[in-house]
Chains A and B, each alone.
Chain A
Amino acid sequence: MNEFKPQPPRIASMLLQGILPHNVRDDICGDLEEEFNRYILTEKGVVRAKIWFWGQCLKTCTRYLMTTPRLLSFLAIFMTVLMLAALSMSILFMSSGIDDEYIISQSFWLNGRVHQLFFEPAFWSLASEIFGGDFTLASFIDVRSVLFSMTALCVLRRLDNKFDYHITNYIGLGLCIMLAPYVYGYVIFQVNDLALKQAGPLIAFMLLPIMYMAGPICFGAIKKLNRHTRFQ
């Protein structure tokens, strides 16, 4: 005769399977299932046993989700996405031809301090207009920036393969390489007296490499962080 036997909640089990690291996944899932079947069902009854399993599942998942490497990875991805959104907005603003006299008249377009754009509330108030307008992928492509970024990423990768940098050194070096065109552009603005027409391509070269390199460098750092955690 087939006796009906209550099982642990399927979704909770799937959640545990998905979130727990592989080295403890089977141990913890097996222990909880055994405890559920052998003790909790008889001690508490079906409904309370299922509630107990959910409680254990949430407590365990929270513990393993809130580990420092996972939080740092999440923070790195979050910061990178924010940075990419802000940079995309600035590039689209420049290529869209939106005539906002207040922003266009600002001195940072000609003195190299382009980052000040991101501190202008007027710029952020144009967000819907900028992202709502027509734009093409070509706005984000600049041959000089592509070449620089590809070369820089290759150099970073080769150096990392050779010296196997610690994660902090890798991030430091990555940031230096990523910000190099910005510093270069700033120096050019300080040394030369550029007209607004000449400033455009230089500003694109200051910002676009950051856009191209932020993702790969973030990915590399997270990979390093995970490897570092595994070997600890």
Chain B
Amino acid sequence: MANKQSYLGEFEHLVLLSVMVLGADAYGVSIRRHLKTVIDRDVSIGALYATAQRLEKKGLITSRKGEATPERGGKAKRYFDITADGVGCLKQTRARLEQMWERVPTLFTLREY
């Protein structure tokens, strides 16, 4: 039976991919910069943390406190790590998206829309 939690929203998908790509250096600033550089998307920090909390609740990522630096006003970073479930969920989402794209015959057909 379809489980609602197994589906990733578009922004969840992007955040999860960023966490996976950035590896051990995935935290608020680096994820925001990554999304801006790669897909030119300005993401509000509030939206990012709300999504990260949701992903953590789903068990797709974990978070841990990092070091505090002077340029952060002495506040510690919060690093995110992807879990095995998170990787599985990304693979599943990719497979589903590819299945959907396979049903679009050619780019020429797409242009007609």
Contacts and interface: CB of A to CB of B under 8 A. Distances in A.
B71 A24 contact: no
Contacts, number: 59
Contact of A59 (B27, B28, B33, B46): B46
Given A30-B76, A31-B72, A34-B72, 11 more contacts: A24-B49, A26-B76, A27-B78, A28-B28, A30-B77, A31-B29, A31-B45, A32-B45, A33-B72, A37-B71, A38-B29
Given A35-B29, A59-B46, A60-B46, A29 B75 contact: yes
Interface in A42-79: 56, 59-60, 63-64
A227 B44 CA distance: 27
Interface in A7-37: 13, 24, 26-35, 37
Interface in B6-41: 27-29, 32-33
Interface string B64-103: 0000110111011110000000000000000000000000
A39 B71 CA distance: 11
A38 B50 CA distance: 24
Given A30-B73, A33-B72, A60 B27 contact: no
A64 B75 contact: no
Contacts of B29: 31, 34-35, 38
Contact of A33 (B27, B71, B76, B78): B71
Contacts of A56: 44-45
Contacts of A64: 46
Name the prevailing secondary structure of the B interface residues. helix
A13 B74 CA distance: 13
A31 B28 contact: yes
Contacts of A27: 28, 49, 75-78
A29 B77 CA distance: 10
Contacts of B107: none
Contact of B44 (A24, A30, A34, A63): A63
Contacts of A29: 73, 75
A5 B72 CA distance: 14
Contacts of B33: 35, 39
19 contacts: A24-B49, A24-B53, A27-B75, A27-B77, A28-B28, A29-B73, A30-B68, A30-B73, A30-B76, A30-B77, A31-B29, A33-B72, A34-B69, A35-B29, A37-B71, A38-B29, A38-B71, A56-B44, A60-B44
B47 interface: yes
A33 B45 contact: no
A141 B17 CA distance: 64
B44 A59 contact: yes
A37 B49 CA distance: 20
Contacts of B49: 24, 27-28
Nearest to A55: B44
A35 B32 contact: yes
Contacts of B76: 26-27, 30
A63 B29 CA distance: 18
Contacts of B50: 63
Report the 6 A-B pairs with minimum CB-CB distance, sorted nearest first: A30-B75, A31-B28, A63-B46, A30-B72, A37-B71, A27-B78
